Amino acid sequence: MTVGVDKLEKQEPRRYWNQIYDLLPGNWSRLSRATAGFAIVNFGTRAFNFLLLVPVYSHFLNPEQYGIVSLSEAMAVVVASIYATSFEASIQRFYHLHEDPLRRRACINTLIQLGMVIMAFICLLAFTFGPWIISRLLPHLGIPFYPYLALAIGTLALNQIISYRLSLYQAEQRTRKYLSLSLLLFAATAVCSVTLIVVLRGGALGMLAGKFLPTAMVAALASYLLRSWLMPSWDKDTLKTFSKFSLPMAAYPLIILGLNIADRLILQHYRTVSEVGIYSLAYGVGMAMSLIALSLYQSWTPVFYKAARQGDASKPANASLVSIALLLKVAFAIVGISISPLFFSWLIDPRYRPGAAIVPFIICGYLLRGFTFSFHVPLLAAGRTLATSASGAVALAVNLAINFTFIPRYGIYAAAYATFIAYAVELIIVYFVAQRIYPLPYARSKIAVSLLLLFLILWLSQGPFRGNIPMVAVLAAIAVICVLHMARGTAASKVG
């Protein structure tokens, strides 16, 4: 439930964050702590590792070596997308589908065991036939399957085991456990990677091995922590329900894969491996936006699913929850656009500087993707998963058409713009489909105004005030204040 504006006016003046904290429904205290916890985890395991260590990596890995790592991991994602199909999303959804602990355990046990069996089978095929497939289908890739691609594939497979335990911690809203396991993986990876890259000068192979070894150790621990959820038998009803839920969106991981790696493969075909390395590093810098969106997503989705069991009565509160999360994402994107030039000028090796111009568009692309995933949740709650694959297929077609047409001439700039446009197309389709199937009264006007402010800052930073960092920072600060004010208003009144 929401609190009226009249009640807000009677309260003593406080900062926006405290007002939003008090006004959101139900368990906002747990929600805010969860968001902070997930943010620490995501930045610790991904962004912090990248943003602090990449300045080091960029001095010990040349663009060609970084391109080898990027392409190896991209090919590994191809394999992972096959066995990771919808399992993490299913764990989140199915955990809140059953209130009986025994029924819930049987359901989760079936999902995890099925996921592990499929993963083991696909990895066996990859390690057996991978070298032959690469030599036949991608003869110009220029990267041997063993050891580069094999290490990357093994790392993602082991990380899938860790993700099952993390998904359960997220569903259980046990953020501290999630935090501990994730930071353990981060710390082990950071120590091992620095040792192999900086101390032993292992190059691209050292970077891949530095991720594989600690992931193997933490995966063993995660398997032990999953023991209470596992049983020798499988639940047939869960298999039937899972099939109906997951098969319509089985293609979606492959579509996301195409959106993530097609530009790199096309770049490698038409341009150089060094340009792939520059583009990948720029995407890594913009990754901070995706992690902020992910942190908010991880914290509110369990609350959404639990409330959705109440039917239509939960829709206003859930719409308010999602609207505030979207507004906060826009605020963070504005900050990211304004400070990204400083990061490149201060910390990144000059060989990677051409990537600075595309980072603001990468940030906006990740923001649109975060919006899309937010609108996926109502579709998943309604069990209508086919729309996710259909909208993603349209976005992928747009992305490929732009990439093949313009990358030969414009290189990394065409790749960044193509991804941004594709995510915008997918967002528009998903929003209208979700509103038709599971309508929610979002704060549409406020979200639209916040996006206009974002794109105004983007235009000013790339046009009239390009290079004028202080002016862009001042304008961005004003825009952020406006967006936070709208978030406060959304929390203080009913969403209409």
Mean residue pLDDT across the chain: 79
CA distance 483 to 468: 23
CA distance 184 to 206: 20
Q: Would you say residue 32 has pLDDT above 80? A: no
Report the chain's C-alpha Rg in angstroms.
Answer: 22
Higher-scoring residue by pLDDT: 92, 410 = 410
pLDDT at 128: 92
Q: pLDDT tens, 98-127?
A: 777 888 888 888 888 888 888 899 899 989
Burial 209-245 (b: 16+ CB within 10 A, else e): bbbbbbbbebbeebbeebeebeeeeebeebeebbeeb
pLDDT at 74: 78
Provide the residue type at 278 as one letter.
I
pLDDT at 398: 93
Provide the angle, in degrees to the nearest 10, between the axes of the packed helices 101-137 and 150-172: 160
pLDDT at 5: 37
Q: Sign of the C-alpha dihedral, residues 87, 175, 371, 359? A: negative
Report the percent of the chain where pLDDT is more than 70. 85
Q: Would you say residue 14 has pLDDT above 60? A: no
CA distance 438 to 410: 41
What residue has token string 């990468």? Answer: 362
Confidence of residue 478 (pLDDT cuts 50, 70, 90): very high
Q: Which residues, including other chains, have CB under 8 Å from residue 17's CB and lie 6 or more apart?
A: none
86: left (phi over 0), alpha (psi -120 to 50) or beta: left
Q: pLDDT tens, 172-210?
A: 878 788 888 888 988 898 889 889 988 888 888 888 999
Q: Per the structure block, which two tokens stand in for 260?
A: 């993530």
Q: Would you say residue 328 has pLDDT above 80? A: yes
CB 355, CB 344: distance < 8 Å: yes
Higher-scoring residue by pLDDT: 114, 70 = 114
Provide the residue type at 394 as one letter.
V
DSSP helix/strand/coil, 3: coil
Confidence of residue 432 (pLDDT cuts 50, 70, 90): very high
Q: Would you say residue 492 has pLDDT above 60? A: no
What residue has token string 């201060």? Answer: 346
Higher-scoring residue by pLDDT: 39, 70 = 70
DSSP helix/strand/coil, 9: helix
CB 5, CB 494: distance < 8 Å: no
Q: Is the pTM of this model over 0.75?
A: no
The residue-averaged pLDDT of 467-491 equals 84
pLDDT at 223: 92
Q: Which of 339, 375, 330 is nearest to 487 (CA)?
A: 330
pLDDT at 213: 94
Q: Which of 200-204, 271-275, 381-385, 491-495 has the highest mean pLDDT?
A: 200-204
CA distance 354 to 357: 7
Q: Would you say residue 3 has pLDDT above 60? A: no
Q: Would you say residue 399 has pLDDT above 70? A: yes
